[in-house]
Every structure is written in structure tokens, then in C-alpha cells.
Amino acid sequence: MEDRGQTAKFHIPNSTFHTRTVFAIGKKLLRDLWGMRGQALAIAVVIVSGVAMFIAALGTMDALTRSQRSFYENARFGEAFASLKRAPTDVERRLQALEGVATVQTRVIADARLDLAAFDEPITGQLLSLPERGQPALNRLVVREGRLPRRGTETVASEAFAEAHDLHPGDKVTAIINGRHRSLTIVGVVLSPEYVYQIQPGGFFPTPERFGVLWVPRATLGAAYGMEGAFNSASFTFTAGANPQNVLDRVDEVLAPYGGRDAYLREDQVSHRYLTEELKQLEQLATTMPVTFLAVAAFLLNVVIGRLIRTQREVIATLKAFGYSDWAVGRHYVGMVLVIVAIGAVGGTALGTWLGRLLSQMYLQFYKFPELHYSLGIETVVVSVGVTALAVLGGTLYAVWQAVSLRPAQAMQPEPPATYRETIVERLGLKALFDQPTRMILRHLERRPLKALLSMLGIAASIAILMTSTFFADAVDYMIDVQFNRAQRQDLTVTFTGPTSDEALYELKSLRGVTTAEPFRSVPARFRHEHRQYRTGIEGLSPHPVLRRPLTDDLEPVPLSAEGVVLSDYIADVLAVERGDTLTVEVLEGTRPTRKIRVAGRTKQFIGVGTYMQIDALNRLVREGGALSGAYLALDPRYEEETISALTRRPGVASVQLQQRAVQSLLDTMGETVLTFTFVMALFAGAIAFGVIYNAARIALSERARELASLRILGFSQGEIGYVLLGELALLTLLAIPVGFAMGYGLCYGTAVGAQTELFRIPLVLERRTYALSALVVLIAGLASGVVVWRRLGNLNLVDVLKTRE
Amino acid sequence: MRNIFQDVLGGDTAPVDALDIDLRSVEMGDVVFETQGVTKVYEMGETQVHALRGIDLELHAGEMVVMLGPSGSGKSTLLNIIGGLDTATEGTVHYRGWDLTRADEAQLTLYRRFHVGFIFQFYNLIPSLTAEENVAIVTEIARDPMEPRAALDLVGLADRADHFPAELSGGQQQRVAIARAVAKRPSVLLCDEPTGALDSDTGVIVLDVLQTINDELGTTTAIITHNQVVSKMAQRVIHLSDGRVSEIEEIAEQVSARELAW
Ligand SMILES: Nc1ncnc2c1ncn2[C@@H]1O[C@H](COP(=O)(O)OP(=O)(O)OP(=O)(O)O)[C@@H](O)[C@H]1O
Ligand SMILES: [Mg+2]
């Protein structure tokens, strides 16, 4: 007893810390992580989904743009183009001499019909001339198979066309140019920057089976097309610093005497324009959706991690009682969640990179680039991982802060409910309606309204992103239905080689198997309104069309007045005109008159754009009487084959397009691009939903394990405590469904508005199956989580509970 | 050599003297704690709960005191305030001349880390750590601590060092908790119903450990209990009722813990 005075020796100020090999708190971190591996994994899955989606989408976008750029550069894709009737070859030198022109390439382009022995249907062809030797100066070809033609009977085919018909060097194709048949031998398969997106003139989608592009030596094509020593097409590049519009004006001046028709920039080149539109739309998808995903994932992580940390409240208090500082406790938990974030980030980056490569490769089936330039963007990784890490850390630190800001004495107590009282339901006297366990559920929810709300919103958010990812299928179905069952009801479209007299229509009508024939006239034109302008075609239709009908917003046919033009909504918006406004129209054909014209109405058009007039009014506008460019036909299905082959062989017919086939190819294209993309998103959305719901259930279990075990000790059955715990989850899930539907509708609206392009206006239609599917995925996730929790309830260790307090 | 983890985990590793605590050696019987007019009021919405209504008390170096009192009389509240786990509503608490009631959170953290050992009724072991690791978690941040094994040896549990709390009996868990509390060689040991969850035999073992530590290390020890018998081993018994000290009893002849039974 005498030596008790030495207490102070335990406080030697300059004593040193021990170095140890065992760090208990580090072990706690690892064991805790291992102990909640199920939940940690579920959280990691949410991170993986968010990060992978983001990286895959942006990576695909980036790969496509870079592949495009590199192809354009290597192949020297023209920066401007001009078409004309016929100019002697030496005009090329005058073009070359123009200020601002760097390189000129002249060539002959001929429309043709193609015939393949193994394919019965009509094929539209475009033949382009190649220099006698080597590659053209601009718009060079990338030879994928075989070689370039050397002899007059040799040709190379575009890869899209060759793939569609399995054509290889040695195969034969017949080209019908100006009614004369020419047999050509394919010696190579090529890619051209002018046909990355190979669209038939007048079409909206690539139809590689029915539209082929061939390149033949210039002499051959010149002879066949009456273009010896002449050209009818030119392509340019500009010198640095040249003003493109000025150069185009000078080109037009030079070519005007030769029927030069309004030289245009690369941005109006068909393939490039559609490619740009498609990429723009893809970019919309590839940014808005993953950003939404990431935001949702971040929100969910924040909520889930916060709850997870809150279950550690007492441990935090105990650590603090020992003298661990707030910082030390905070860092401990930050370390713990960073391990989860790291797993998610590595997994997400790997999966995202792999998927991005896969998606880009898939797109290469539609966009004919010679090679894919795929690389992992560091910024995308940093952004996506950073966002998730911030969300997770935010949730962690907030929860830790809440725990440490309490006095340890208080934190060691279980968290007190905000208020002790009967629930609204009970106070309303509805108590009798509910049994004891149900009242426990209601009370628990009501005591923590914020927590209940957040859990519910988390589930709702999963429903919303599921809806957004499946909504595209509905939209595409709807677009196709409107376009092909209401607006374009013809079975086929016949295009004549040039403006033809009315006679031709009567001849078509009299063909056996043709039930209806409607004329159309199409004329290229440029519309101007104030400072805005838009280059498109005017379509002249019969006054009361039955087959080809522009539609109102209510999808009723728009009446075509005797004067005035009807614009599709996209063009009307670009030009900022309303019904009744006056436009300037510049016809880009024939005598090229410029007129004022009244806007007679606007049409709803989801796919493509268009302007419509009565055919007679259009002919008056271009000062030609009774001319038509082609006809829309309805066929008697019994004679379909016969009629088609008769039409195909008819002189003066440039092309025969089958409507049904167009729908099919549209479906194919859309199906495989946008839908694959959204399918991947749906998978991730499903994974996120599972991760969140599973975690919600597991956390609920750990928060209430003691309470539930005590209930068991008091004689409740597993079924009853299961009901108390899972009933709450079920109630939250059911509440989340309508809220999720509303959030999903909002998200789809945003996406539809954001993804408007010249090519598509995505209609905001959500089919019942979209609602049903998202609700189903969430319900299944809830059920699966419920099963896991149920099995854990069976193993609830009552003895453990007795050993510790409460 | 400094423990590298200290930098990572320790956060505020300011020297102990940053607390302004008079570290000159205290003689047996010197005042270690002095409370003056300590009150604690819990605000419960409309109503107020007066847990402590003005406590004036001194605790002396090396002494063993027992606090007795009916449930709700404020024992835990007082102990928590003395231990820096909670703050008083009014009044002051001095620890070796240092005013605890005016300390900020960082200072309280250091105070708990270096000066106080806690033992709770429900042990509060960390379930994911073994017995030894539960001790190590404290020794790693302490200065001049015992080896965790040595501390476990002190409570007779060296052979259970690798067991997880779930694999130990209640009494064994409490002894681990004691080992954890004393391993840092605190100058005070605050025990809130250390035997509350234990049977008589096990309780005696635990009390014996506490007495040994008090004897051998000279640690000032305060024990809250409901058990009259326990007060026989104390030098002083402080009776609380309704938030006040109702009586302080000096015990002339202390009984060895091993002779207690209830
Ligand atoms: N967080 C709190 N909020 C409100 N009142 C509290 C809180 N903690 C304790 N009290 C009240 O303070 C009073 C003293 O509580 P304390 O825990 O100090 O009692 P005790 O003497 O330790 O009792 P026991 O022997 O039952 O452990 C009690 O009336 C209690 O209800
Ligand atoms: Mg108490």
C-alpha cells in the first residue's frame, strides 16, 4: 500500500510509442468487411454498374468519333461536293485554280440497277468512277479484300453490299445503266468515307441488301453513261483559312454553265450527315443515361453506406471511449468503404472497358470504318470513380459524423426514436384493423420517416432507371407503327429515272396486281425564313392521298391545300415558323426559281423530315406541268411477286423500294444499335436494383437483429418476426412502385427531349409492359433479398443476444 | 520508433501535457477528482429530467470507492461525466487540477486515451476482434501500455487470447474488458456495474482482478454497483439518491474480494 504514490510514473511525458506488427484496428476493418461481404459485394455491384455503364458508353462514343476522324483523315474525305449535268474534263483545272481550293477530284457517278443471279428483288445501285491508275486524290478507298480494278470489266463493291450478299472477288454482278446490261467481275471489297453509312437516296436507313455501291474504271463508266471526257461530280478540300461558303459560291459560278447544282459542304453529304445525326443521338444516350445512372447509383450508395455505418454506432462510441479521436474513427470507416469502392472501381473499369469495346465493335457493323480506335479514357474513369467515391465517402462521413458528434455515453445507447407515440393510424382509431406485428411495422416506419422515405426513394430510383432503359423499345415500336401504318402505307415506291409525264401513272395503275397508285414529285429545295435556312426536298403529293399521308399531331391526315407548303415539325422548329407565316423557297433544280410560299400546316413526323405540297402546286412552282418523280403503290398480295418483277424490268424505272422490307431493315438497324445499348443498360439497372434492395434488407436485419431475437425469446415465431421485418420491406417496395413510375416517366421525358435529332424524334410512349417489367424486376429483387433475410432469421442466434445487452 | 499507425489512426497525437494536467507525481490520498455543483439535466421535449442535482465530491489517488444507489439515482450519469463520456449541465469537474468541464472534444479524447479506463456492464467488446486484439486496439494508441498478453494474463485469460467475444462466457468477456481497460495503465478505472451481468462466483473473480489492479498498480478505482456486498471491499462508499450524494461512508476494514459472496 505504501507505494501507491507512484501512480504518476505511468505518465512519463517522453515515453515512446511501440511499434507493433499487429494492428487491431486494421484487423477489425478486414474482419468487418469480410463479415458483411454480402452487402459489400452488393454495394460493389452497384458501383461496378454505374462505373461500367459510364465507361462503356463514353468509351463507345469516343471510339466511334475517333475511328471516324482517323478514317476521314487517312482516306482524305472531301470537305465539299458538287454535282452537275456534264462538264468537260478540263473544267477540273479551272476548279483547281480557284482560290481556297486545295485539291479537286472529279468523277462520274451513275445511277444504275443491279442484278445478282442469286437475288430476285430489285437492287438500286450507284456506280462511281475510279482513276485509271491508283487511288483517287480524295475519297480514297480502303481495300478490305482483293484489289482495285485494272480492267474495264472489273469492279469493287462496298463492304456493306458485299457482306449482305456474301460477295467476294470472282463473283459477278450485272449493272443496268441507261437500260444497257453490263456484266462486271468483282475483284475487291472496299470501304469509302463517302459511304460509312450507306443510304439509298431518299432513304433514312442503310439497306445494304437493296442498295449497292460499285466503283469502276472511269473509261468504262464514261462510255456506259455517255460521259467520255467529262465528269458530273466533283469533290474538294479547302486550303487552310479559306472561307468555305465563298469557295462554294465560286465553284457554283464555274459549274453553273454545266448544270452545276449548288455545291454543298461535307455536313450536307448524306453519309456524313446521317452518321453525325446518329452519333449525336448516341452521344445523347451515351451521356444522359450513364450520367443518370451514375447519379442514381451515387444516391443509392450514399443512402446505403450511411445506414450501414449507422449500424456501427455503438462500436464507434466504444472506440471513442477508449480515446480514439473523431478523425481516427472517421478514417477507419473511410478506409473500410474505400476498399469497397476500390473493388467496384476496378471491376467497373474492367467491365466497362470490355463492354465498350464490344459495343463499339457492334457499331462497326453499321458504320463502316476500317478500324476501331478504342482506348480507355482516363478522364471517364476518374470522373465515374470519383463521383461514386464522393457519394460513398459523403454517406460514410455523414453517418460517422452523426455518431461521433454524440457524447460517447449517449452513442452507446441504442439510437432513441425521434418521438414515442402511437402512429397516425393508431391515433385515428384504426388500431383494431391491424394486428400487433403490423402495428410494429407501421410504428417503425413512422418513427423514422426520413429513413423510410430514403429507402423508398432508392427503390423508386431503381424502377425509374429500369424504365428508362426499356422505354426505347416502346418508342421504336410506336415510331414504326405510326410511320408505316399511318403515314407511309404504300407497299412499294417506284422511282423513275427522271420527271415523267402523268401517262406513266395510268400505266402503273393498269398493271395487274396494283390496287392503288399515287403520284409523287420530289424536288430539292432550300427554305429560308429570316436568317434561318434548311436544305431539303419538297414532296408533291395528290390532294387526298390514301397511301402517303402527312399526319397531324393527333395522327390524322393533314389536308394539303392548293397553295402553301406543309412542314414536318422538325423543319418548322428549325425555321421557327408557324402556320400562316411566309417562307422563301429556292428550288435547286431546273430553272431554279425562288418564290415566296405560305406555311399551310405542320406535320408530326418521328422519323426523318419532309415538306409536302399538292403535286400540281409543286409543278406550278417549278414551272413544269404534270411531271412526277415516281409513284406509291398498294399491291394485291396475290400478285405481289409478279408485279414486282414486272416493275423492276420496266424501262424508265430507276428503283423499286419495298415498304415492308424497309420496315424490316429499320428494325434490324435500330434493334441492333439502340436496343443493344439499352439492353445493357437494363441489365445494369437490374443489378443496381438488386444491390440496393438486398442491402436495404440486410441492413434492416442487422439494425433490428437484437429486437427480433428478443421477440423470438419472448415467444414470437420466425414467421412473425419475418413478417415484422419483411413486411416493412414489402410495404416500402409497394409504395416505391408508383413513385418510381412517376420518376421513370420524368426521366424518359428528359431522355426523349434530349435525344431529338434530324433523324428521329423519340416519342414519349411508355407501354404497359415497360411499367410491368420494371416493377417485376424490383419485386423479384425484393423477393430474392427477402429469401436471404428469411434464411438468416432462421439462424438468428438467441444466445448471442443474451450475452450482450438489451 | 513511432508507431506508424499512430500517424494514420491517432489523429491528435498531441503530448499529454497539452491537457494542462498537473503531472507531478501524486501521493497516495491526493485529490484526483474534484466535482463542484455538478448537475445534469436531460431535456425531453416539454419535460426536463434532473439526473444530477448538484454533486460535490472528491476522489483520491489510489483509493477504491463504490457508488451505491437506487436505479435512476444518477450513478452512471456521474461516472460518464467524470470519464469524459458526457458533459455536465452545470458545475465543474477537475482532474488533477485540470478543468474537465471546459475541455473541448479533442482534449477529452486525449484524456480518455491516456488517463481513464472504462469497464461497462455489457462489456462492449468489439465482436469482430479476438480477446487479444480487443486489448490491442487500446494499447496501440496508448503510451507506455502493457503488452496485450500481459494484460490478459493479469485477468487470467492468457489462454483465451485468440477467442472471439462470442466464444467467451459473460464473465470471461468482462475480464477481457478489464484487461482492455487496465492495459494502458490508466490512473483511474471507472466501472459501471462490472458484475451486473455475472453470477456470484464469476463476479468475485472479476472483483478480485479489480482489487489486484488497485493494489498493484495503484489505480484509482470507482465501481458502480447495486450490490451491497461489493461495498465491503471499498475504502469509501458513496451513496447517491435522486441525483444527490446522500451519504459518504468510510470503511475501516476492507474485505478481500475473494471473501465476498452473494
Ligand atoms: N439520455 C437520457 N435522456 C433522458 N434521460 C436520461 C438519459 N439518460 C439517463 N436519463 C435519466 O437520468 C436519470 C439518471 O440515470 P442514470 O443512468 O445515471 O441512473 P443510474 O443511477 O445509473 O441507474 P441504474 O442503476 O438503473 O443504472 C434517470 O432518471 C434516467 O431516466
Ligand atoms: Mg446505470
> What are the φ and ψ backbone dihedral angles of A468, each rounded to 5 degrees?
-60, -35
The per-residue pLDDT for range A178-211, each reduced to its tens digit, is 878 889 999 999 999 999 888 777 666 677 888 8
A521: Cβ–Cβ under 8 A, 6 or more apart, which residues?
A499, A539, A540, A615, A618, A619, A627, A628, A629
Does the beta carbon of B83 lie inside 6 Å of ligand 1? no
Cβ A322–B215 below 8 Å, yes or no?
no
Q: Measure A658 CA to ligand 1 centroid, in angstroms.
A: 86
Q: What angle do CA A67, A69, A74 make, to 5 degrees?
A: 95
DSSP result, A43-64: HHHHHHHHHHHHHHHHHHHHHH
Q: What is the pTM of this model?
A: 0.69
Task: Say yes or no: A803 contacts chain B, CB-CB below 8 A.
Answer: yes
In chain B, what percentage of residues exceed pLDDT 90? Answer: 37
| Model confidence at B126: pLDDT above 80 | no
Per the CB < 8 A criterion, the answer to whether A143 and A174 are in contact is: no
Note the pLDDT of residue A743: 92
Task: Give the residue-averaged pLDDT of A726-746.
Answer: 91
Task: Say yes or no: A768 contacts chain B, CB-CB below 8 A.
Answer: no
Residue B30 Cα, gap to closest chain A Cα (Å): 9
Nearest-CA neighbor of A236 among A74, A83, A66, A87? A83
| Model confidence at A44: pLDDT above 70 | yes
Residue A413, SS3? coil
Instruction: Give the chain A residue whose CA is nearest to the CA of B88.
Output: A407
Which residues, listed in sequence order, are joined to residue B116 by a DSSP beta bridge?
Answer: B188
Q: Which residues of A touch B129 (CB under 8 A)?
A: 24, 27-28, 31
| Model confidence at A17: pLDDT above 60 | no
| Model confidence at A36: pLDDT above 80 | no
| Model confidence at B13: pLDDT above 80 | no
Place of cell 479484300: A145
Q: How far is CA A283 from CA A312, A357, A688, A751, A756, in A?
A: 43, 16, 23, 12, 11
Which residues, listed in sequence order, are joined to residue A234 by a DSSP beta bridge?
Answer: A82, A106
Nearest-CA neighbor of A72 among A193, A163, A167? A193
The more confident residue out of B23 and A501 is A501
The per-residue pLDDT for range A398-438, each reduced to its tens digit, is 878 877 777 777 777 655 544 445 556 666 666 666 666 67
| Model confidence at A255: pLDDT above 80 | yes
Which helix H or strand E contains A308, and what residues bound it? helix A270-310
CA–CA distance, A133 with A1 (Å, rounded to integer):
112
Nearest-CA neighbor of B173 among B159, B163, B186? B163
Number of C-beta neighbours around residue A623 at 10 A: 10
The alpha carbon of residue A156 and the mean position of all alpha carbons in its chain are separated, in whole angstroms, by 33
CA–CA distance, A750 with A381 (Å, rounded to integer):
25
| Model confidence at A7: pLDDT above 50 | no
Q: Quick one: chain B helix, strand, coil %, rounded to 5? A: 35, 25, 40
CA–CA distance, A475 with A226 (Å, rounded to integer):
47
Q: Which of A202-211, B115-124, B246-255 has the lowest mean pLDDT?
A: A202-211
Task: Give the residue-averaged pLDDT of A511-524.
Answer: 89
CA–CA distance, B84 with A616 (Å, rounded to integer):
96
| Model confidence at A176: pLDDT above 90 | no
Q: Please give all residues whose CB falls under 5 A of ion ligand 2, grouped by chain where several chains appear.
A: B 76
Note the pLDDT of residue B227: 87
Task: Give the residue-averaged pLDDT of A364-373.
Answer: 81
Per the CB < 8 A criterion, the answer to whether B51 and B77 are in contact is: yes
Per the CB < 8 A criterion, the answer to whether A540 and A522 are in contact is: yes
The per-residue pLDDT for range B199-224, each reduced to its tens digit, is 888 889 889 989 988 988 889 999 99
Note the pLDDT of residue A428: 66
Which helix H or strand E contains A612, and what residues bound it? strand A611-614
**DSSP state letter for A167:** -
Does the beta carbon of B40 lie inside 6 Å of ligand 1? no
In chain A, what percentage of residues exceed pLDDT 90? Answer: 21
Q: Which of A342-351, A752-761, B165-174, B247-256 has the lowest mean pLDDT?
A: A752-761
The per-residue pLDDT for range A563-620, each reduced to its tens digit, is 889 999 889 998 999 999 999 998 887 788 899 999 998 898 888 788 999 998 888 8
Residue A620, burial from CB neighbour count under 10 angstroms (0-12, 13-18, 19+): middle
Ligand of minimum distance to the alpha carbon of B45? 1
Does the beta carbon of B73 lie inside 6 Å of ligand 1? yes
Residue A525, SS3? strand
Length of chain A, in residues: 806
Cβ B124–A326 below 8 Å, yes or no?
no
Task: Give the residue-averaged pLDDT of A59-84.
Answer: 91
Q: Quick one: chain A helix, strand, coil %, rounded to 5? A: 55, 20, 25
DSSP result, B64-116: EEEEE--TTSSHHHHHHHHTTSS--SEEEEEETTEEGGG--HHHHHHHHHHTE
Note the pLDDT of residue A203: 66
CA–CA distance, A420 with A61 (Å, rounded to integer):
55
**DSSP state letter for A429:** I
CA-nearest residue for atom 17, ligand 1, is B76
Residue A796, SS3? coil
| Model confidence at A21: pLDDT above 50 | no
Q: How many domains does chain B have?
A: 1
Mutate to test the interface with A, among B133, B135, B220 (most CBs of A within 10 A): B133
Per the CB < 8 A criterion, the answer to whether A527 and A536 are in contact is: yes
CA–CA distance, A728 with A736 (Å, rounded to integer):
12
Residue A234, CA atoms < 13 Å, CB-side half-sphere: 34
Crossing angle of the two packed helices A449-481 and A270-310, in degrees rounded to 10: 160
Note the pLDDT of residue A173: 93
| Position B98 in a domain | no
| Position B19 in a domain | no
Grid coordinates belonging to A260? 452545276
| Model confidence at A309: pLDDT above 80 | no
**Between A and B, how many CB-CB pairs are < 8 A?**
179
The more confident residue out of A524 and B68 is B68
Mean of the per-residue pLDDT values for chain B? 84
DSSP result, A198-239: -B-TT-SSB-TTTEEEEEEEHHHHHHHHT-TTEEEEEEEEEP
According to DSSP, the β-strands at B188-192 and B220-224 are parallel
Task: Say yes or no: B142 contacts chain A, CB-CB below 8 A.
Answer: yes
Residue B246, SS3? strand
Place of cell 461535307: A266
In this complex, the residue of B23, B87, B220 whose CB is nearest that of residue A407 is B87
> What are the φ and ψ backbone dihedral angles of A159, each rounded to 5 degrees?
-65, -40
Question: What distance, in Å, lies between the first and last C-alpha atoms of chain B?
Answer: 49
Compute, in degrees rounded to 10, the torsion defined by CA atoms A772, A290, A371, A196.
Answer: 70
| Model confidence at A61: pLDDT above 60 | yes
Per the CB < 8 A criterion, the answer to whether A266 and A79 are in contact is: yes
Task: Give the residue-averaged pLDDT of A134-154.
Answer: 91
The per-residue pLDDT for range A470-496, each reduced to its tens digit, is 887 788 778 878 887 888 888 888 888
| Model confidence at A541: pLDDT above 50 | yes
Task: Give the residue-averaged pLDDT of B115-129.
Answer: 81
Task: Give the residue-averaged pLDDT of A307-311.
Answer: 75
Q: In this structure, is the dihedral angle defined by the CA atoms of residues A641, A643, A646 and A651, taken in order, positive or negative? A: negative
Task: Give the residue-averaged pLDDT of A648-664.
Answer: 74
Domain residue limits at B209: 4-11+62-86+103-253
A544: Cβ–Cβ under 8 A, 6 or more apart, which residues?
none
Residue B246 Cα, gap to closest chain A Cα (Å): 24
Mutate to test the interface with A, among B109, B114, B146 (most CBs of A within 10 A): B109
Note the pLDDT of residue A674: 67
Grid coordinates belonging to A464? 425509374
Per the CB < 8 A criterion, the answer to whether A429 and A398 are in contact is: no
Residue B28, burial from CB neighbour count under 10 angstroms (0-12, 13-18, 19+): middle
Note the pLDDT of residue B39: 96
Band (B10; pLDDT cuts 50, 70, 90): very low
CA-nearest residue for atom 11, ligand 1, is B51
Q: Measure A306 CA to ligand 1 centroid, in angstroms.
A: 29
In chain A, what percentage of residues exceed pLDDT 70? Answer: 89
Residue A102, SS3? strand
| Model confidence at B226: pLDDT above 80 | yes
The per-residue pLDDT for range A661-711, each reduced to its tens digit, is 666 666 666 666 667 777 777 888 888 788 878 888 887 887 777 677 766
Task: Give the residue-averaged pLDDT of A360-369.
Answer: 80
Task: Give the residue-averaged pLDDT of B38-45.
Answer: 88
Examine the predicted complex and report whether its ipTM is higher than 0.85. no
CA–CA distance, A522 with A613 (Å, rounded to integer):
10
Task: Say yes or no: A326 contacts chain B, CB-CB below 8 A.
Answer: yes
Residue A230, CA atoms < 13 Å, CB-side half-sphere: 18
CA–CA distance, B76 with B207 (Å, rounded to integer):
19
Grid coordinates belonging to B45? 421535449
Question: Which CATH number fits the domain that encloses residue B121?
Answer: 3.40.50.300
Does the beta carbon of B67 lie inside 6 Å of ligand 1? no
Band (A18; pLDDT cuts 50, 70, 90): very low
Mutate to test the interface with A, among B1, B2, B8 (most CBs of A within 10 A): B8
Domain ranges in chain A?
1-28, 81-269, 448-487+665-806, 488-664
| Model confidence at B26: pLDDT above 70 | no
Note the pLDDT of residue A146: 93
**DSSP state letter for A228:** T
CA–CA distance, A574 with A554 (Å, rounded to integer):
21
Residue B148, burial from CB neighbour count under 10 angstroms (0-12, 13-18, 19+): buried
Instruction: Give the chain B residue whose CA is nearest to the CA of A419.
Output: B45
Place of cell 484509482: B220
CA–CA distance, B248 with B236 (Å, rounded to integer):
7
| Model confidence at B16: pLDDT above 80 | no
CA–CA distance, B75 with B89 (Å, rounded to integer):
15
Does the beta carbon of B69 lie inside 6 Å of ligand 1? yes
Task: Say yes or no: A401 contacts chain B, CB-CB below 8 A.
Answer: no
Cβ B5–A25 below 8 Å, yes or no?
yes
Number of C-beta neighbours around residue A82 at 10 A: 25
Residue A166, CA atoms < 13 Å, CB-side half-sphere: 3
Q: Which of A59-73, A168-182, A209-223, A442-456 has the lowest mean pLDDT?
A: A442-456
Note the pLDDT of residue B213: 87
